[in-house]
Structure 1
Amino acid sequence: MNTAVITSPTLSHEAEAVAVRIFASQRAAHRKSPVPSLESRRRNLKTLERLLLDNQDDICRAICQDFGNRAHQETKLLELFLSVDGIRDCHKRLAKWIKPQSRKGSIWFLGARNTVIPQPKGIVGVVAPWNYPLFLVMGPVTSALAAGNRCMVKMAANSRNLCVLLQRLVAQHFDEETLAIVPGVSGSFFSNMPFDHLIFTGSADTGRQVMRAASDNLTPVTLELGGKSPVIVAGDFDLKIAAERILQMKTVNAGQTCVAPDYVFVREDQVATFVQHCRATASQRYPSLQTTDYTSIIDQHAYDRLMGYFDDATGKGARVINLLPGNISSETACKIAPALVVGVDDNMRVMQEEIFGPILPIKTYRTLDEVIDYINDRDQPLALYLFTNNRQVQEQVVSFTQSGGVAINDCGLHVAQHDLPFGGIGASGMGHYHGYEGFVEFSKLRPIFKQFFRPAFPLLYPPYGALFDRLIKLMLGR
């Protein structure tokens, strides 16, 4: 357990003082009750579920206000449902997860017993981003509470309305010794607190800063960092179905998703057909940019960055294809239409940076080997998507690439599978949560060895002699 003390002689901000007080309260509560019962953990999960179900409309309104526009239906599907479904799955499986695990012992320690017990780490800090501000709070909190920990949550500045709402709701339903939302605290201050585990979701650059800050306290970290997730459309797969499924994950939340497709490989001779299907699909789902079903870009800075990709790409010879009728953007609504970029090369910013918006570059290819080499020459992505019914191709891509997760013949749905761990690798992050892996991530798997009351091991104690030599020769097998 991390026992470092928070010291801040120049502490002047009220929010930081509140965070320090809550941390001390949670630390004291953890020491008083370090291993909460199954019943208390289940009660916390049920309370969390009830908090979400009883306040659905308020949550949807708050998130819509933070974005400028986001359909309530989208929030209910992608944030409320996934959060509640994850809580229920965890509640159902928790009794099995917390049981001590019997482990095999060495034959040379006859009669001894080995056991592994999952114990809470203590206090878990959760740093959540703005793009899925509910789900990316509730997912880690569910895993941490199931493991018996106490939680403090820092939300993004762009989630002000939801943060205020959740702080009030959490305070009504939970003691701050168990769970607290701490608004107004800077990321640097929060990351420097001596948590027993810290989970951060966000950009790779900020993730590096978080990891450096956590290292001062030797705090273990889980990092979910995103990256450029590629899509491969093999020649055997139906292009219409591929376009429909790829665009669903690329346009939901206006592409502001860490596992959104970032660029797609299409065979040279199939690009025109793929573009046609993308046009038809996008315009059918969103008849105009002004529809309330389509989410706004989170703020002006993000809007300007995305529009800059268009200028950079066209200035270097690429072609931008607006998938909706009318203008490609609306600055007043802070919206950008789904768009394809064809004729891209690696000198363009759209191919160098994580897009995090509704822009999809198309790269052409002739052989699968060149696609695999391209992916492997770059940072490991958080997700990799492959569309093919050819099992040999599936095995080749999975075996010869690395990514946080893989979805075959669809995009993003692996995140909604509660019995699959979610996490990155390399530049896309480290550690896992969701389901059992989330429970384990926030637990200390503590090994317990219990000696037999009449052990044989003392026969190996010094002084060494002929008996020791015979025994060690027997143990070594020669």
Structure 2
Amino acid sequence: MDGQVAPRTDETATGVAESEARITALLAAQKAGWATDVTPSHATRDDRLARLDRMVEAWHERFITAISEDFGNRPAVVTTLTDIVPVRAAIRHARRQLRAWMRPRRVSLAWTGKPASAQILRQPLGVVGIVGPWNYPLNLVLSPLIGALAAGNRAMLKPSELTPAFSQALALAVAETFAEDEVAVVTGGPDVATAFTAAPFDHLVFTGSTAVGRKVVEAAAKNLTPVTLELGGKSPVILDPSVDFDKAVPRLVWGKLLNSGQTCVAPDYALVPLGRVADFLSAVKAEVERQYPGLPANADYTSIISARHFARLTQLVEEARDRGAEVVELGGAHDAEGRVFAPVAVIGAPEDTGVMAEEIFGPILAVVAYDTLDEAIAYINRRDRPLALYWFGEDKAAETRVLTGTIAGGVTINDTLLHLAQDDLPFGGVGASGYGAYHGEAGFLTFSKEKPVLKQSAISGVKFLYPPYGRVASFMLKLLGRLG
């Protein structure tokens, strides 16, 4: 849904109509399949997760090749680290915990409910639709799928049109691994994605931009489909006055430039103590040249996904420069033909420029100087709530002030990105960065209905409240009012 919308011709209209028909047919088949097994057994769910794991293992080399083809260049190490390894780890985690997650939860009752008993049953919702982005195309499609399958659902996947080679590989892999009424893939452009999000799923997951996320919610609302939105925004880094740049800067640079900054939780702007900006930039420049020497020829550096995104990043920098910001090249040169955008820092850009108002989603680091910690916290809180927040420093009191004084989807202290890789930590946004969460048990719960069940005993005092109402009912109400 992130690509440009091409003019709609008769040929494209026919293709979209065929895709819409396929979406309708697949959804009907999956709902029919779910109806034959409303609450799948542990064995059924575990088998689906095991097959998914075998699929990723068998296809991982082809996935790596396809993703690199889509990007122009994306190192195998990056795809393995960010797409393959996290997915397989999440599958293993889900399989280990599945029995515990599925177990009914007994609930204690107030004395007014006794001697009845109660429990909460966790049941699947039905069919889950998953719309994935292009930046981590395997991880951000299969991670929610793991939670959906663990919870006992069927699922339909819509990968991004900006990764056509990967989308085709995923479609083939899934078709080889699952029956269409278990898991299926739908490919196509923005029109197909629009039809997909308008389908009456039992739950819908969308990962992408905030602007498109708003449209997804509008489409889903027509069917009252609940939605999990994983969006983005401007994730800040606070460098406390107590920070040690020698420790912090390598971790910040790694998190910023992994996948060339095309990461939803990448550090977007750095809040740096007044008077230490020059030292900070010097340290960042040295670290960029250490991690990625010889740009644009360095094969460890990921290309920008498309010429349109390359042009967008270029425009962000030029606008900031034209508005008086200082632009510092951090290492190497750009290569427009190869879509290699060398890292740059932008200092002092006006707040209404794109680099300060929009999610950057590339190797541009905005830098803002601050005087006091209260000023830095206020700066963050004036903006939309971010998907991630990072703090570097040694002052524990300042760390606590940041944690309690800000709201963010997730936080890593003295590093970047790593909270995202922990299966027992829910991953999700807040406010404009999204809502809902998955990973681990949080994902299992997102794709489950927790059904409360009360089982009445053979003896029940409720009969004393049956009509016709008289003195006994009045006495019971007074008693309930005093002791309830």
TM normalised by structure 2 equals 0.95
Counterpart of 1:32 (choices 32, 36, 48) is 36
The equivalent of 1:154 in structure 2 is: 158
The equivalent of 1:261 in structure 2 is: 267
Q: CA separation in 1, counterparts of 2:291 and 2:393?
A: 25
The one-letter code matched in structure 2 to 1:284 is: R
Counterpart of 2:237 (choices 223, 231, 234) is 231
The one-letter code matched in structure 2 to 1:248 is: W
Which runs of structure 2 are paired with 1:16-415 in the superposition (5 Å)?
16-184=20-188, 186-289=192-295, 290-325=297-332, 327=333, 329-415=334-420
Moved more, 162-171 or 340-349: 340-349
Q: CA separation in 1, counterparts of 2:237 and 2:84?
A: 27
Residues 316-342 of structure 1: CA deviation (Å, up to 9, x unaligned): 1111111113x2x11011011111111
Q: CA separation in 2, counterparts of 1:456 and 1:343?
A: 71
Q: CA separation in 2, counterparts of 1:343 and 1:102?
A: 57
Determine helix, strand or coil for the equivalent of 1:228. coil
Listed as ranges, the gaps of 5+ residues in structure 2 are 1-12
Q: CA separation in 2, counterparts of 1:346 and 1:184?
A: 37
CA contact (8 A) 1:11 1:17 kept: no
Listed as ranges, the gaps of 5+ residues in structure 1 are 1-8
Which runs of structure 2 are paired with 1:449-464 in the superposition (5 Å)?
449-464=454-469
TM-aligned CA deviation for residue 111 of structure 1: 1.3
The equivalent of 1:474 in structure 2 is: 479
- 1:221–1:12: structure 2 CA closer, same or farther, 3 Å change rule? closer
Q: CA separation in 1, counterparts of 2:90 and 2:25?
A: 30
Q: Aligned residues, how many?
A: 468
The equivalent of 1:5 in structure 2 is: none
TM-aligned CA deviation for residue 187 of structure 1: 1.5
Determine helix, strand or coil for the equivalent of 1:231. strand
Determine helix, strand or coil for the equivalent of 1:49. helix
TM-aligned CA deviation for residue 263 of structure 1: 0.2
Residues 329-380 of structure 1: CA deviation (Å, up to 9, x unaligned): 1101101111111122213210011000000011000101111111111110
Q: CA separation in 2, counterparts of 1:465 and 1:27?
A: 50
The one-letter code matched in structure 1 to 2:141 is: V
The equivalent of 2:4 in structure 1 is: none
Residues 62-109 of structure 1: CA deviation (Å, up to 9, x unaligned): 000000000001100111001100111011101100000001112012
Matched, 1:437 2:433: no
RMSD: 1.4
Determine helix, strand or coil for the equivalent of 1:188. helix
TM-aligned CA deviation for residue 11 of structure 1: 9.0
Q: CA separation in 2, counterparts of 1:59 and 1:10?
A: 30
Residues 151-206 of structure 1: CA deviation (Å, up to 9, x unaligned): 00001111100110111111011101100111126111001100000000000110
TM-aligned CA deviation for residue 470 of structure 1: 2.4
Moved more, 129-138 or 183-192: 183-192
The equivalent of 2:6 in structure 1 is: none
TM-aligned CA deviation for residue 448 of structure 1: 0.5
Identity of aligned residues (%): 43
TM-aligned CA deviation for residue 459 of structure 1: 1.0
The equivalent of 1:3 in structure 2 is: none
CA contact (8 A) 1:240 1:274 kept: no
Q: CA separation in 2, counterparts of 1:56 and 1:205?
A: 32
TM-aligned CA deviation for residue 471 of structure 1: 2.2
The one-letter code matched in structure 1 to 2:306 is: D
- 1:292–1:365: structure 2 CA closer, same or farther, 3 Å change rule? same
Residues 195-240 of structure 1: CA deviation (Å, up to 9, x unaligned): 0000000001100000000000000000001000011000111112
Matched, 1:428 2:427: no
Moved more, 288-297 or 60-69: 288-297
